Amino acid sequence: MSHLNDIPSTPGKFKMEKSPYVHNRLRWHFSLAKLTFWSFIFLGLIVVFFFRSPSSNPLLQDPSRRSLRTYNWGGPAWEKQVRSSARIRSRNGFSVLVTGAAGFVGTHVSAALKRRGDGVLGLDNFNDYYDPSLKRARQALLERSGVFIVEGDINDSVLLRKLFEVVAFTHVMHLAAQAGVRYAMENPSSYVHSNIAGLVSLLDVCKSANPQPAIVWASSSSVYGLNTKVPFSERDRTDQPASLYAATKKAGEEIAHTYNHIYGLSLTGLRFFTVYGPWGRPDMAYFFFTRDILKGKSIPIFEAANHGTVARDFTYVDDIVKGCLAALDTAEKSTGSGGKKKGPAQLRVYNLGNTSPVPVSDLVSILEKLLKVNAKRNIMKLPRNGDVQFTHANISLAQRELGYKPSTDLQTGLKKFVRWYVSYYSGGKKAAG
């Protein structure tokens, strides 16, 4: 017990001459205790800061962050699946990486490419912005036609680099995005995460790939924002976005310019105009109007000031798919290699619309006829949450350069949508909440 007596009551009173070894050991002991104590305090503060309440925790606040979870990928069996899905099966076919392949447009484009013999590999993070079971059902559909979807995020550059190591993609069809105009007010950071950071992450990997792929990607009609000159032409100003969603798509167009200019990436942006159809997005008006009319719930129909009509250039998904394929077919090769530009590369932007706007109230009338149910219409003032009063595409550039010619009117397209909706949700699936 004598050694206990050697320990002074206060460290400052420790007598040096007793034993330098004991002194050093004790000092080390105390420092360690202090360090442990302060580490606990520090960790405690971090925990309190992050988990105080859901609203103060950025990780819980932002659904897109859920897409940062780790995914299982890699290994010989996985690489075999990737290679086989991306294998070209037609003469002069492409090998295309489709991002957002479990999304609405992504599924349709992937299936169309596969049908004509191109190699297609999908990539999707299956986030829960809307019912993920619909994305899983689309995935099952694609799997049956031989398209494999890798589960991962476009922000994961390690995964992207791996995909380019396994497959020398000739093209990238970039459709992964945070969509929806109104949701941008609820969750702004998810738009920055997917539409800006995700795009940069993808382009950065593409620029270093050898060979560099040609890239076609989804911009949006929303970039026209407060533009009042109709129909919207690619030459019109796009510097007055009305929503953060539109601003991130516009930023995407500028980012595309940069990667084209510095690295020689061939880039084509497609401004989609309110795409609808079977396997569509439950957050879009035509989709939840259908659900709510069938449920007997009232539907909010927006109108502008002084009973002004709100209208959209609704575009059927098959027409959009034709535009996407034509953009891929006419895309020139990127000119860079190993991250260095070798010469000027193609940079294009096209409107893909239907070029015949329809008032939202007419859309509802068509749905009423198809569903044989009268809608409970709740006419509301157009909220100031990012919506614009009308959209109308001038498609002459796409017509001239892509041979784009939409052929489905709203009546015909909605008929196909309703047929799909009824069969999908009566087949054991419950209507998307």
HSE-up (13 A, CA, CB side) for residue 27 = 11
- Nearer to ligand UGA (CB atom), residue 136 or residue 182: 182
Candidates 183, 191, 245, 404; catalytic one: 245
For 58, the token pair is 């950025």
Cβ proximity to ligand UGA: between 272 and 350 the closer is 272
Q: Among candidates 274, 350, 354, which has minimal Cα distance to 310? A: 274
Site string for ligand UGA, 79-108 (x = CB under 6 A): ------------------------------
Q: In the set 142, 202, 205, 284, which binds ligand UGA (CB under 6 A)?
A: 284
| Beta strand ranges found along 112-254 (DSSP E) | 119-124, 148-151, 171-174, 214-220
Rg of the Cα atoms in the chain = 28
Closer residue to ligand UGA, CB minimum distance, 162 or 271: 271
**Least distance in Å: CB of 117 to ligand UGA?**
30
SS3 category, 147: coil
Q: Does 236 bind ligand UGA (CB under 6 A)?
A: no
| Residue placing its CB nearer to ligand UGA in the complex, 159 or 223 | 223
Q: Does 251 participate in binding ligand UGA (rule CB under 6 A)?
A: no
Residue closer to ligand UGA (CB basis): 95 or 394? 394
Size of the site for ligand UGA (CB under 6 A): 18
Task: Compute the distance between CA of residue 138 and CA of residue 132 in angstroms, rounded to an integer.
Answer: 10
Q: How far apart are CA 346 and CA 114, in angstroms?
A: 25
Determine the straight-line distance between the first and last CA of the chain, rounded to whole angstroms: 72
Q: Minimal distance in Å, beta carbon 180 to ligand UGA?
A: 5
In the complex, the smallest distance separating the C-beta of residue 274 from ligand UGA, rounded to whole angstroms, is 4
Does the annotation count 245 as an active-site position?
A: yes
Which of the residues 293 through 322 are near ligand UGA (CB under 6 A)?
300-302, 310, 312
CA dihedral 164, 169, 171, 176 (to 10 degrees): -40
Residues 224, 210: Cα–Cα separation, whole Å: 35
Report the run of H or E that residue 270 belongs to, with start and end.
strand 267-272
Q: Site mask, ligand UGA, residues 350-379, x = CB under 6 A?
A: ----------x-------------------
Classify 398 in phi/psi space as left (phi over 0), alpha (psi -120 to 50) or beta: alpha
Among 131, 292, 362, 387, contact with ligand UGA (rule: CB under 6 A): 387
CB of 36 to ligand UGA, least distance (A): 52
Partners of residue 380 on adjacent β-strands: 302
Rounded Cα distance, 128 and 124, in Å: 12
Q: Does residue 97 contact residue 118 with C-beta atoms inside 8 Å?
A: no
User: x/- contact string, 146-185, with ligand UGA (CB under 6 A)?
Assistant: ---------------------------------xxx----
Residues in the chain: 433
CB of 134 to ligand UGA, least distance (A): 15
Which residues of this chain interact with ligand UGA, rule CB under 6 A?
Answer: 179-181, 220-222, 272-274, 284-285, 300-302, 310, 312, 360, 387
Indicate which residues carry an active-site annotation: 245
